[in-house]
A = this chain, B = another copy of it.
């Protein structure tokens, strides 16, 4: 049972977000998910697709992305059918992205289970990932809203955590447990306690549920937004799509699905979690890129290099150099440095300050050179 793929399961890939903490690699016009940001040889979007296809087949994956990225998405995923692309004129956060996909799928395939998987996360050990997803689909079949929480490998302060509760004892989903609560990014001491306790998992933002179950939960917690989403979904596969979208879209609330579905469900004991024992990273900043790259064991030099290694020289330095240019990059005597060298923009920071790249992006918006964003 666990080994076969459930044929009522559909994956949704919300492919949005500028990844501003990854500037200048990630740009408004070519964001993080369209880039091979971790130097694996494939873009994050393509890797996500390749990871899901063995679970769902090519026709059961829907991609939600911005108009501006449509052509690049089509180019990276030539197997993606046009009916499985949901284009947004303007980003409306994850409730709309996932909720609309679920509402469209519910109309096309009543009784479907939908799972959402970010386009810009990195996952290793795909077999374990798929095993966790199959368990999650089973738990969803039983009426649960389900998330996959990542077994932490370190007391990270960069991620939110999920406290796992009682085992649910679902046939075919033996590791499913209730979610007791979601907790925000902790400080380091708290993170250590969480990891030591064995009860906490990283919140990777993966949600799996029957489409109708998800929409019901949404209707309960955000009725206006749910109504708007359903109105668009009703028109989606009809000639009225464009009219309805242009009328309803501007009024849709921008809010993360964590607040409209996951956390309210957890509060009433309706959220299940499947612990995931695979490598996972949200590749949220350059410290994360460095971590991911290191984990991939690509580098045994003192300075990690993403790019042409022969053009990077270093002495007494540690950190990461990401090079997209033909230039020689030399690093001397600095530790945990992060150097990102692109044709029209250069970033220098270090691991401890990797999150401040967002401040740089904000400064650039007001600067004389917003064109590099």
If A331-B347, A332-B349, A348-B348 are given as contacts, then 15 extra A-B residue pairs at C-beta distance below 8 Å, sorted by A number, are A24-B330, A310-B367, A313-B367, A314-B360, A315-B359, A315-B360, A315-B363, A328-B369, A332-B347, A332-B359, A333-B350, A334-B337, A334-B348, A334-B349, A334-B350
B367/A348 in contact, CB under 8 A: no
Query: Is A368 in the interface zone, CB < 8 Å from B?
Result: yes
Stretch of A99-107, A122-130, A167-175, A338-346 contacting B (4+ beta carbons < 8 Å):
A338-346
CB distance from A313 to the nearest CB of B (A): 5
Chain A interface size, as a band, is 35 or more
Query: Is A187 in the interface zone, CB < 8 Å from B?
Result: no
| A330: B residues at CB distance < 8 A | 23-24, 345-348, 357, 360, 363-364
CB distance from A100 to the nearest CB of B (A): 36
* Bound form: Cα–Cα A341–B120 in Å: 31
* Bound form: Cα–Cα A369–B348 in Å: 23
Question: 8 shortest A-B CB distances, which residue pairs?
Answer: A333-B353, A332-B349, A332-B356, A310-B368, A328-B345, A315-B359, A330-B360, A313-B363
Query: Is A329 in the interface zone, CB < 8 Å from B?
Result: yes
Query: Is A298 in the interface zone, CB < 8 Å from B?
Result: no
Given contact pairs A333-B350, A360-B315, A327 touches B310 in the complex (Cβ within 8 A): no
CB distance from A29 to the nearest CB of B (A): 15
Main secondary structure of the interface of A (DSSP, over half): mixed
Out of B331, B343, B357, B372, name the residue touching A348 (CB < 8 Å).
B331
Query: Is A296 in the interface zone, CB < 8 Å from B?
Result: no
Q: Which of A302-326 contact B (CB under 8 A)?
A: 310-311, 313-316, 326
Query: Is A248 in the interface zone, CB < 8 Å from B?
Result: no
Question: Which B residue sits closest to A361, measured CB to CB?
Answer: B330
| A326: B residues at CB distance < 8 A | 344
A328/B363 in contact, CB under 8 A: no
| A372: B residues at CB distance < 8 A | 328
* Bound form: Cα–Cα A350–B334 in Å: 7
* Bound form: Cα–Cα A359–B317 in Å: 12
CB distance from A305 to the nearest CB of B (A): 13
Question: Which B residue sits closest to A357, measured CB to CB?
Answer: B332
| A345: B residues at CB distance < 8 A | 327-330
Query: Is A242 in the interface zone, CB < 8 Å from B?
Result: no
Q: Which of A251-310 contact B (CB under 8 A)?
A: 310
